[in-house]
Amino acid sequence: MRAIESMAMEVLNHDELAAILGDLAIETHSNAMTTQSPDWQIAKDVFVSLAENRLFFRHEMICAVDAPTDILYSEMLVRMKVDDQVLLPGRFIPALERLSLMRPFDRFVLGRTLDALRAIPGKHLGCNVSAQSVRDDHWWKSLFLELAAEPEVASRLVVEITESAPVSPVDGRAFVQRLRRLGVRVAIDDFGAGFSADAARMCEPDIIKIDRSFLRHVRLGTLCIPEFDRLVRVAQDIAPIVVVEGVETPDDVRIARDAGAPWIQGYYINAPDAPASIEAD
């Protein structure tokens, strides 16, 4: 684990990070993690990829349901290059979650998102932060200081919280409130599949994103349209902005519009664009 921590320190390159990683409590179980385990190897590959600049991002726009040129923001979708393959998050994020290594990864992603916001004036960008990282503590200190010093950048950032683990009510609310005081908007991702209505309401988010699986079930006939409409109404009771994810066909657009959802995201609107270099100059 020390080798991985050393890679993280080199990649993240913040003055206080050595102390932070030294304090990071990583729970290990002999039956779940050894230096030969698949999770360990995947985690090592991830941090080597960061060091070698093989992690990149694609942008996917969130657009108004009736006006594709009206863009709410673009989500930064993380990808990793390994040999001749491009790996999606589902291939490596679960291993980081099992090893409790999402915090250094999320910190890296958020830092690079800030770099992109600085490099593209006027652009609004969002990035994912795992529920494991949702704590208002010293881990985020330097990035919070950057956001406080650059309110114009903060106002163009959306932090999407993904529920890979239960969010502590106290930690979740404190983290969201801190971001909002800094001018950052907060979205709850994968609503309905991860976050319950009560958990989402507790966080008081600005944006709710309805998980893509619900539209897929409507297409397959395993979820009726009135149930989908009800889910959209529940989301609207929690946050002022509701996004329907997974829009892939004209029928999907119609279903979202008829349900009253003002914003949509998915391959029908805009397939992820070319890799975006977001390294600082």
Q: How confident is the model at residue 165 (pLDDT cuts 50, 70, 90)?
A: low
Among 31-40, 79-88, 186-195, name the one with the lowest average pLDDT: 31-40
| pLDDT score recorded for residue 193 | 82
Token pair, residue 264, equals 């949509």
State the amino acid at position 92 in one-letter form. F
**pLDDT at 126 > cutoff 60:** yes
Look at residue 198 in the predicted model and tell me its pLDDT. 81
Percent of the chain with pLDDT over 70: 82
Q: How far apart are alpha carbons 204 and 201 in whole angstroms?
A: 5
Query: pLDDT band at 254, cuts 50/70/90?
Result: very high
Count CB atoms within 10 A of the CB of residue 19: 11
pTM of the predicted model as reported, rounded to 2 decimal places:
0.84
Distance CA(176)–CA(205), nearest Å, equals: 7
* 103 compared with 242, residue with greater pLDDT: 242
Segment 197-226, tens digit of pLDDT: 887 888 889 999 999 999 999 999 999 999
Q: Which residue has the higher pLDDT, 196 or 260?
A: 260
| Alpha carbons 131 and 97: distance in angstroms, whole number | 10
| 32 confidence band (pLDDT: 50, 70, 90) | very low
Give pLDDT, residue 31.
Answer: 41
State the pairing for strand pair 207-210/185-191.
Answer: parallel
- Assign residue 168 a region (left: φ > 0; alpha: ψ between -120 and 50; beta: otherwise): beta
Find the mean pLDDT for residues 155-167: 86
The answer to whether 86 and 80 are in contact (CB under 8 A) is yes
Report yes or no: 147 and 181 within 8 Å, Cβ to Cβ: no
Query: In the prediction, which pLDDT does 253 show?
Result: 97
Structural domains in the chain?
55-90+99-265 (3.20.20.450)
> By the 8 A CB rule, do 110 and 102 touch?
no
C-alpha span between 89 and 70 (Å, rounded): 28
| Position 120 pLDDT exceeds 90 | yes
Model confidence band, residue 276 (pLDDT cutoffs 50, 70, 90): very low
pLDDT at residue 274 greater than cutoff 90: no
pLDDT value at 256 more than 80: yes
Split at pLDDT 50, 70, 90, the class of 188 is: very high
Dihedral of CA atoms 239, 243, 244, 245 in degrees, nearest 10, equals -120
- Judge whether residue 279 has pLDDT over 50: no
Q: What's the whole-number mean pLDDT along residues 109-133?
A: 95
Query: What pLDDT is attached to residue 215?
Result: 96
